[in-house]
Amino acid sequence: MNIGDELRNVVRGRVLAAGDDGFERARRPWNLAVDQPVRAVVEAADADDVAALVRHAHLAGLTVATQPSGHGATGDVRDVILLRTTRLDELEVRDGIARADAGVKWGRVLEAASPHGLTGLAGSSPAVTVTGYTLGGGLSWFGRKHGFASESVRAFDVVDATGRRSRVTAGSDPDLFWALRGGGGDFAIVTAIEFDLHPAPRLHGGRMLWPADLARPVLDAFREITASAPDELTAWYELLQFPGADPLVAVDSTFLGDGGDAEVLLRPLDKIPGRISDSRTMLPVADLGSITAEPTDPGPGVSHAELLTGLDDSVAAALLERPIDPLLSVQVRHLGGALARPSGTPAGHLDEPFALYMFGIPGEDGGTAVRTRQREIADALVPHTTGRKPFTLLAPGERAANAFTPETLTRLRGIKRARDPQGVLRSNFPVLG
């Protein structure tokens, strides 16, 4: 019996193995530049299906890697069973609390929360699943005000490495609850997540855009704004090079409050002439994804992130010394606020006030030119980076050890060994890797 037939005897959802129609498409991650050499793909019908699959894997010596939408894939999945939880799609919002199944994406949560004047701690893309994002800590537009998304979690519904289902809270299983709130998906498969929503009765946000020859004055204004920004304001500075277009510089922002107050805080940017466009306006929370307008369909990409200890003149020089080509974007995100305070989760806190995120689309060289340019910028910034990276911004080839303090990594590894000694479950970035 081949692996496909074996799994079809175990689960009710769709099973695809090598040679089956649709297998090649089903195994692809969100980042099409990453290959996933898996043995089979299982699209679970529900949480009971997930449990049945894991029980079988536990007894048969198989490994299961869970990817709701395929974000964060690294390709380290040779011969594993790839579990898709897309069909787990129930969502409930009540009394300031959301309960989302593992396949629910942030866009749906924001649409449901927005009419109530509430928001979840979503990032820039509405296409990312709540569960995958939150297991990695979750760096939100509103993290400066409310901390990591994982801090808002109340409970997880999980399937453990033996296939047993349970509800995990701080009271019922403190070690596993702690590990799942930002330590990744190495410890159990989350089938649903329950978390607090936060007040957002007024939201101002949008993008300002200038020609790239104004990159330096825009950066100077960005530094002035972020030096004293209240926690309600988040601003990201971005160098952009779209294919076939002139280079640009942008500042994206959100403000939890009135537009007039936001305009006062961002006034240094308004003093810069030559602006091409300005989409800032009062927004419903449901439109949060429109600010950066990231792609909502899979595509190839190469990313690299660093944490910056500051944004002084030497950092500015390294960023602006020459065009970013062949990169598509070089983004500097303002952190600080609640993100700099102890969180009680594996994400800990971020002493670094800025995150750098570089992204490019691989060409015929397979991404060599993009990676080379990313390394050049990262090397130039070495005196001003710490080597640590937020878990949610790790890239293929990096390890969980790049995201956690030694003490946190030791505790996570201990929980992994105790909860999954056979290695039945594998996350995108295994803590034992």
| Confidence (pLDDT) at 370 | 98
| Cis status of the peptide bond prior to 326, with omega within 30 of 0 | yes
| Confidence (pLDDT) at 286 | 96
The confidence band for 146, taking pLDDT boundaries of 50, 70 and 90, is: very high
| Confidence (pLDDT) at 69 | 85
| Confidence (pLDDT) at 127 | 94
The confidence band for 55, taking pLDDT boundaries of 50, 70 and 90, is: very high
Q: Taking each helix axis as running N to C, give the angle between helix 368-380 and helix 313-320, from 0 to 180 degrees, rounded to the nearest 10.
A: 160
Where are the alpha helices (H) located in 44-161, listed in sequence order? 47-60, 106-113, 130-135, 143-146
Do 158 and 173 contact (CB within 8 A), yes or no?
no
Q: Taking each helix axis as running N to C, give the angle between helix 313-320 and helix 215-227, from 0 to 180 degrees, rounded to the nearest 10.
A: 140
Which run of H or E residues covers position 92? strand 91-94
User: For residues 130 and 149, what is the distance between their CA atoms, to the nearest angstrom?
Assistant: 9
190: number of Cβ within 10 Å? 27
User: For residues 326 and 362, what is the distance between their CA atoms, to the nearest angstrom?
Assistant: 9
pLDDT tens for residues 190-244? 999 999 999 999 999 999 999 999 999 999 999 999 999 999 999 999 999 999 9
Q: For 107-116, what is the mean pLDDT? A: 97
| Confidence (pLDDT) at 364 | 92
Do 386 and 328 contact (CB within 8 A), yes or no?
no
| Confidence (pLDDT) at 433 | 78
Average pLDDT, the chain: 96
Q: For 14-34, what is the mean pLDDT? A: 95
Phi/psi at 349 (5° precision): -145, 165
- Tokens (6 digits) for 8: 């079809």
Residues with Cβ within 8 Å of 8's Cβ and at least 6 positions away in sequence, in order, are 15
| Confidence (pLDDT) at 1 | 67
Please name each of the domains of the chain with its CATH number: 3-84 (3.30.43.10), 91-199+405-419 (3.30.465.10), 204-393 (3.40.462.20)
Q: In terms of C-beta density within 10 A (0-12 exposed, 13-18 middle, 19 or more buried), how is residue 97 classed?
A: middle
pLDDT tens for residues 307-340? 999 999 999 999 999 999 999 999 999 999 999 9
pLDDT tens for residues 25-52? 999 999 999 999 999 999 999 999 999 9
User: For residues 371 and 304, what is the distance between their CA atoms, to the nearest angstrom?
Assistant: 8
| Confidence (pLDDT) at 102 | 98
Q: For 146-171, what is the mean pLDDT? A: 98
Total-model pTM: 0.96
